[in-house]
Structure 1
């Protein structure tokens, strides 16, 4: 039985018929709720702290969406059967338990020093990493080993977050490691799917195709990996800043080879290019914050990565993959354009807040409202198709 046959043979609840369904739907819902919850605590005071906000956006939301994508993509990459039904429900339950445990810890002062919330939270990404290794090894597909390594490092960064926060109160190194892994995942996987989907779209319409991946792309990824590694280890070193600037420039050049300007009539395609552009911008801004600290605050580049590259790219993938696997046409409508507009406006507002300290509270509020609106729109528009069986195509 191949992947498609296994999916057709499934007879359980539709929401557990494919990895992306529960994680995209409830990950988006969690993101929509978590952002204003932290904003309220930040503006009005409350138990939800910055550490919880960082962890839940990075390891909670982003970790869930990455899992949903990989659980759907890896079977296609390896030829292995997908994780569906009860095993998928159990994996999702681990993710949900982690969110509940972390929220309980931040809301209950008596749990501030408790170890069990961190242990529960760490289970999901640890199991997910083991699953990816199993599939990559069983499928004998060496091309996916870097993805397995990155997921494992992401799981270790999550464990390190809990240990570091308990030891010193601030998990700076683990946070940088987690962000660096996410940025590299976008560089690698986004660098696969963006030119691939662009090529498919262009073939149907004619015209020049995106450049084929080659040595330049490999070099750009190597420099990006080196820059992010240096940033994790030594975030203030001038050499780190120069390497980040180089990586950002190479990422922009790489993006320019994919002919994104030719896809402006199809939002499902050009949003991938825009998300990748946010990655390039974040690398450049992070580099500038080191080489020209008086000109640029470190938070500007970090939020260009988190609110920009992560927010835009995850919603770009979530909308396209959800439509495709739910049997809907791969054509964007007004809802998708609204989602893309809201998330990019949220990212721009968040970055602008770091550039204008006097307007920071206002722009932070605007950004959180736009962020939540983007994800709530996704939940309301895509919830029904993710929770119901795939439409049969003629």
Structure 2
């Protein structure tokens, strides 16, 4: 397949969705080698810190950039980043990944500067448009972006020795996860307004009424933020537990928006539903664990890290990738298989948190990573031809 670089760099979603998928596969495959003692991670930072940082601020940041660089111009009518500017921005992300790999050899300040520059430039390019009148409906993304940047800065401060007693870097990495989850919550609110109505129209359903209630959606967002703050500052306490249960209940209630007619028969609605379900289940699990100690909180948090983030990223890649590439919103069979892979990966990864789990922990970790890798391989095998060349020339079919 001949790759048209000019076509790739016309829109931010094309290179960054590809890079995000490739990084997920590469990072998880390398993580498996690390667990087997075949490969090694930098000595400057802990094994868990390296893994979490690259999944959040490497894989996750690429997906976030691809989404915002595409969605905000559509929402606000702003000029989108393209061409040489987009290529240089992609290069900055790549240099960031290289710098973390070489963190033992480079000054920590330089590694931090290269990596923090990526979300800062994203903010510089997107926030002014969100602050304008045309972007006022999407102001909620401003604190989300700022939280993500603040979490990454705090990680490097923690690695440099600041707040060592407070475990600043660990808490900051958790903050990065929750910033992404908050972004998923507010993004899915907007996407659901479109896809549920689209599903009703496609089913010619004139009887079912889709009536979202903003106050219920806002309650879910606010209670989640309270839970996230409590889990970062006072983890595994009864206060955090009550906030977690409240957030889980509010997020479960929020899922009732999808119980309209037969919209859940549509795969693109299923993606959205499953991603939100994992967030709700993660909050409920953390709440129950705070009182009854089911298992390690780290395992339960993978409802967020593997389930919600992994599924939501595949959802955005599929919906945005098809719509912005000129295709009808007909989810390819490979992406349905990818969703099933993510469901399996999530179940395996959180299994160690269940008491008397018969499956060995190592098997749970290995299986979760393998299924997640397979999910993103399926995504790339379908969408690389779409993102790398004009689909009208190479993919005339709609599936």
> Counterparts in 2 of 1:18-167, with a 5 A limit?
18-44=11-37, 46-48=39-41, 49-105=47-103, 109-111=104-106, 114-167=108-161
Using the alignment, how far apart are the partners of 2:28 and 2:131 within structure 1? 38
SS in 2 for 1:44: coil
Mapped to 1, the partners of 2:11 and 2:225 lie a distance apart of 31
Residue 326 (str. 1) matches residue 315 (str. 2)? no
| Structure 2: runs of 5+ lacking an equivalent | 42-46
Shift, 1:320, TM fit: 1.6
User: Residue 12 of structure 1: CA displacement?
Assistant: 7.2
Residue 340 of structure 1 contacts residue 374 of structure 1 at CA under 8 Å; is this kept in 2?
yes
Partner of 1:16: 9
Question: Does 303-312 or 37-46 show the bigger shift?
Answer: 37-46
Alpha-carbon shift at residue 328 of structure 1 (Å): 2.0
Match of 1:354 in 2: 353
Q: CA offsets per residue over residues 109-135 of structure 1, 9 Å max, x none? A: 444x64312221111011112222122
SS of the residue corresponding to residue 36 of structure 2 reads helix
Q: Kindly tell me: are residues 357 and 171 of structure 1, through their superposed partners in 2, closer, same or farther at Cα, counting changes over 3 Å?
A: farther
Separation in 2, partners of 1:139, 1:388: 35
Contact kept, 8 Å, 1:311 with 1:343, in 2: the verdict is yes
Q: How many residues align?
A: 379
Change (3 A) 1:357 1:152: farther
Q: Matches of 1:19 and 1:147 in 2, distance apart?
A: 18
Residue 175 of structure 2 is matched in structure 1 by 177
With over 3 angstroms needed to count, the CA separation of the structure-2 counterparts of 1:12 and 1:23, relative to structure 1, is closer
Moved more, 52-61 or 179-188: 179-188
The equivalences for 1:292-303 within 5 A come to 292-293=292-293, 295-303=294-302
SS in 1 for 2:24: helix
- The aligned counterpart of 2:384 is 383
SS of the equivalent of 2:139 reads helix
Equivalent pair of 2:5/2:388 in contact (CA under 8 Å) = no
Inter-partner Cα distance in structure 2 for 1:303 and 1:357: 19
Cα deviation, residue 263, structure 1: 2.7
Could you tell me how far apart the structure 2 residues matched to 1:110 and 1:25 are? 28
Residue 244, structure 1, aligned to residue 244, structure 2: yes
Q: Deviation per CA, 1:262-311, whole angstroms, max 9, x where unpaired?
A: 23432122111111111111111122222222x23202321010100001
* CA distance in 1: counterparts of 2:285 and 2:391, whole angstroms: 42
Distance 1:139 1:84 in 2: 24
User: Take 2:133 and 2:385, find their aligned partners in 1: how far apart are those partners?
Assistant: 33
Q: Deviations over 1:336-386 (max 9, x none)?
A: 111111111111111113333861101111111111111122112111101
SS of equivalent residue, structure 2 residue 360: helix
- State whether residues 260 and 270 of structure 1, in contact with CA within 8 Å, keep that contact through their aligned partners in structure 2: no
C-alpha contact 2:49 2:170 (8 A) present in aligned 1: no
Partner of 1:275: 275
CA distance in 2, matches of 1:114, 1:127: 20
Q: Tell me the residue number matched to 2:365.
A: 364
User: Is 168-177 or 301-310 further displaced after alignment?
Assistant: 168-177
Say if 2:301 is the partner of 1:307.
Answer: no
Change (3 A) 1:258 1:266: closer
Moved more, 218-227 or 355-364: 355-364
With over 3 angstroms needed to count, the CA separation of the structure-2 counterparts of 1:152 and 1:124, relative to structure 1, is same
Alpha-carbon separation, structure 1, partners of 2:391 and 2:16:
17
CA distance in 1, matches of 2:76, 2:391: 23
Q: Distance in 1 between matches of 2:260 and 2:338?
A: 19
4+ runs deviating over 6 angstroms: none
Alpha-carbon distance in 2 for matches of 1:213, 1:86: 43
Which secondary structure state, in structure 2, belongs to the residue aligned with residue 13 of structure 1? helix
